[in-house]
Amino acid sequence: MSEYGTPHITAIVAAAGVGSRFGPERDKSFLELNGKPLVLWSVETLHAMPEISEIIPVLRREDRDRGQRLFEQHGITKIRRIAVGGPERQDSVYNGLLLIADGRDQIVLIHDAARPLAEREMIRRMIAELLREKPSCDGVIPAVPVKDTIKEVKRDTIVRTLDRDALRAVQTPQIFWFDKILRVYERALEQKEFATDDAALLERYGGKIKVTTGSYRNIKITTPEDLTIAEALVRENPQR
């Protein structure tokens, strides 16, 4: 248990991606939002939360020294280890998980640095729900209702129109009991299976995931247009 009466919580921040849509070999995590690198937005949010005991960023090998200097300059004391990114996001997150000491009652929070505007209130709500639903719940993820009509398409032809009321756009951070998520990551590695988010691995192996309300403000920076939207959101409401 941490000094705040909750299980020890470690946050993994996946920041090893290359933003190809921003230009050749651009390091997306170090793109600046209002003069501050994306990865620092997420790290500072988590660092300000007393519930979070440790933060493990996952960076490309060539960015480790750069990242270390950045975190030290901004007084981020909860970072004691930096994991090295892998070929895919799933490999990167697994490298972060391997740096966490084993513990059945630990919680791990997994977040993408490409979502710089995750709000502390949402994260606290997710932690509370995971603790409240123990032991029947293995993880909690945030999601928002989709706004557009979604169609399944094959070879440029519509196969069917999906029921929008039943669809959710999933976000990060996602939180899990450490032993549960580590176990499914190891199993996926053995079986060479990949998923687009962490919860999908638990789903695949029978885990129980609770969905909580996310935030439309918690956008993912994928294109230059997303960065422009994020800048507008910060100007409108700088509080997180």
Instruction: Report the 10 Å Cβ neighbour count for 107.
Output: 27
The predicted pLDDT at position 28 comes to 82
> Which uninterrupted H or E stretch holds 111?
strand 107-112
- Chain centroid to Cα 164, Å, comes to 24
Strands (E), 174-228: 174-177, 209-213
Examine the pLDDT at 33 and tell me if it is beyond 90: yes
Delineate the domains of the chain, giving CATH numbers in brackets.
9-236 (3.90.550.10)
What span, in angstroms and rounded, lies between the C-alpha atoms of 41 and 230?
12
Residues facing 13 on adjacent strands: 57, 111
Amino acid, res. 227: L
pLDDT tens per residue, range 169-178:
999 999 999 9
Predicted structure pTM score: 0.94
Q: Of 121, 143, 145, 115, whose CA–CA distance to 212 is shortest?
A: 143
**Position 8 confidence tier, pLDDT thresholds 50, 70, 90:** very high
Q: β-strand 139-145 against 168-170: which pairing, if any?
A: antiparallel
Contact 86, 92 (CB under 8 A): yes
Task: Name the more confident of 71 and 24.
Answer: 71
Contact 6, 51 (CB under 8 A): yes
- Chain centroid to Cα 134, Å, comes to 21
Q: Of 125, 89, 86, 103, whose CA–CA distance to 9 is shortest?
A: 103
pLDDT tens per residue, range 159-200:
999 999 999 999 999 999 999 999 999 999 999 999 989 999
Tokens at 209, concatenated: 């995931």
